[in-house]
Structure formats: C-alpha cells, structure tokens
Amino acid sequence: MSGNEAMAEAAIRAGCYFYAGYPITPQNEIPTYMARRMKEEKRVFIQAESELSAINMVFGAAATGTRALTSSSSPGISLKQEGISYLAGAELPAVIINVMRGGPGLGNIASAQSDYFQSTRGGGHGDYFTPVLAPWSVPEGARLVMLAFDLADYYRTPVLILADAIIGQMMEPLIMPLRSEFKKKLPAKPWALTGAKERGQNIAKSFFLKEGALEMHNQKLGNKWKDLRNNEQRFSSYKTDDAKYLIIAYGSEARIAWEAVDILREQKIKAGLFRPISLWPYPEAGLQKCAKNIKKIFVVEQSLGQMLDDVKLALPGKEVKFLGKTGGGIPSVSEIIKFVKSTT
C-alpha cells in the first residue's frame, strides 16, 4: 500500500467512524481511499466544501464521542488551525494527518519538513500543544495512526500525524496492525453530546467569559501537557551505543540518514542515528541519554532548520551542526556523508 492508503485503512481499523476532508496534493489518496472504504463500512465520509468546513465538521463529530479524522497537506492544515485550537480548548479528541509539502505559501507538491514549527508549537491561537507523531515508513504510518486515536481519547486532545510527501506516496508491504500499542485503559466519555435524556446536559465549548474561568481551564490544560511530556516521549536509535557522532533526523529523512550511518561505519567513522517519533513532546530524555558520550551532533532536515531548535534546547553545551534543504530539496546519503566527514 501507499503510505496514504495505509494510514487511511489503519484509521478505519482503529474505529474511525467519521471523516471529513478536502482535496490537496500529496494527500489525495487518503480521501479517495476513505470515500470507498467508509461507504463499505457504513460509516460517514464527507468531502467538505473547504478545509475550514472539514475541521469544524470533525469538531461536531468529536463532540459526540465519535472517533473522527481529517487530513490535508501544509496549506490546508494552516486553514484548519483555528478549528484545531477550538478542539484543544474544548478538550475534544480527533486525529489530523498532515502530509507535508513545500512552502511557504502554495509552494509546491514535493516532500518537505517545514511544518515542524506549526505542528509542535500549537499552530493556532492560544496556549496549547498538540501531540505530534512522525512516521518514517508505511508500516509505521499505520501503527502511529492507531496509536493517535488512543492518545486522543485518553488525553482528550487532537493528535497530529506529521508525515511528508515521500511517506505518503511511497509504497511498501506491510502487515496491518490489529490494535494500537497504547497500553493504558481508555476512559469512558461521559462528556460526550449523546442526548441528555435521564442526565444533565453536556456542553462542548472553548469559550469562558466568567472572570478567572479561562485561567482555571488553561491551568487544567497545562497539567495535561505536563502529563504528556512526562509519559509520551517516543524515539528510536540505531548504532548509538558506541557512537561518537550522532545524526538526528525524522520522517523520510531518517531513512536516508540510516543508510548514511551504515556507510560511515564501513569507513570506520562511528556514527549513530537518533530518530524522534514524537515531535511533541520531544523525546529529550532519550536524546540526552544517547548523546551522553557523543563528540558532535548533526541535525538533518528537509527544512532550513526547525527541529534544530529542539535539539539545541535538549543538548545545551553540545556542538550541533546543521544540514538542511528546503522547498522540495532532500539531503541525500552522499551529502550527509560528506557533511559529517567534513566536520569530524
């Protein structure tokens, strides 16, 4: 399957009952796939008239306790940001897939990783964060979508899958996971708008006018972000036990860096790879452990340097070098090897 199709099928198997979206390349295979499969499953698919409509339809579905999904690509996600902020403020679970393309503006449809700031810093207005998961393969895309629905329900928050055009478009074999890897027991949804017969009314809102009410609500949200930081950091590492030089990359760029590490090892350069899977919360504890005996850090991105900031925050005092390309440019295996060798 392509990455887009695998993520769509994983959402269906995770119990997604409602999808609303609007076409944009390079994620169009997701709504195309959902249009067919949701009908087969007798669930709800809507091609909305705009990205704004789609995210607000997701808000409505999520308010009923229904597992809801939308997807788009970079400019479309920008249009959805107000709705994502509303979801976070109203504590409604939903999953949003962003298959990144080049920007700013309309940019182009090539792969990029330039939405990192937008994704990991809330993106919309107000004080909030959105958990962000970044797959580096088609199978992992499916696995993380399933996980995202459970994280969303457990923490009552929108969760973002940050893929890129390479991950969305590439095809790989996979065994579709049967269930999420999430281990915690999911809570009931007494807050859901399911009709108030024989119970008090529920209200889904992010609007607090009474003096001090919004401050109290935001403090509650702040405690949630703290719990996420403490409990949901995810990463993988490769050949870091004896490494002296550490390459840090995520998404499709980590696939490229993996090969560079192997070739550097063949050339007697002790390189290793650290790959953040959760971009927020950033896996700083794991990075600090992996980088303990590292001489030099190399950050590689399909951007002008966005994850770079989080690496520097996690590793104060460490020498950090950066290699990036943007607007569809992709640092290659040979470029990474040359970059590492030129500074070691």
Name the 3-class secondary structure at 276.
strand
pLDDT for 343? 85
pLDDT tens for residues 11-63? 999 999 999 999 999 999 999 999 999 999 999 999 999 999 999 999 999 99
The DSSP code for 14 is T
- What is the residue type of 237? S
Residue 111 near residue 79 (C-beta atoms within 8 A): no
pLDDT for 143? 98
What is the band of 69 on the pLDDT scale with cuts at 50, 70, 90? very high
pLDDT for 167? 98
Name the 3-class secondary structure at 156.
coil
Residue 118 near residue 78 (C-beta atoms within 8 A): yes
Q: What is the mean pLDDT of residues 58-80?
A: 98
CATH no. of 236-343? 3.40.50.920
Residue 135 near residue 6 (C-beta atoms within 8 A): no
Whether pLDDT at 324 is above 80? yes
Whether pLDDT at 269 is above 80? yes
Q: What is the mean pLDDT of residues 155-161?
A: 98
- Rounded to 5°, the CA angle 29-33-36 comes to 150
> What is the C-alpha separation between 78 and 39, in angstroms, rounded?
28
Closest CA to 280 of 101, 86, 121, 90: 121
Q: What is the mean pLDDT of residues 228-255?
A: 98
pTM score over 0.95: yes
Whether pLDDT at 251 is above 90? yes
What is the band of 101 on the pLDDT scale with cuts at 50, 70, 90? very high
Q: Domain limits of the chain?
A: 3-182+220-231, 236-343
pLDDT tens for residues 123-143? 999 999 999 999 999 999 999
Q: Which two tokens stand for residue 255?
A: 């696939």
pLDDT for 344? 77
Whether pLDDT at 115 is above 90? yes
What is the band of 332 on the pLDDT scale with cuts at 50, 70, 90? very high
Q: How big is the chain, counted in residues?
A: 344
Q: What is the mean pLDDT of residues 270-277?
A: 98
CATH no. of 3-182+220-231? 3.40.50.970
Q: Which two tokens stand for residue 309?
A: 């900031």
Closest CA to 329 of 261, 256, 273: 256
Q: Which two tokens stand for residue 303?
A: 């951007």
What is the band of 174 on the pLDDT scale with cuts at 50, 70, 90? very high
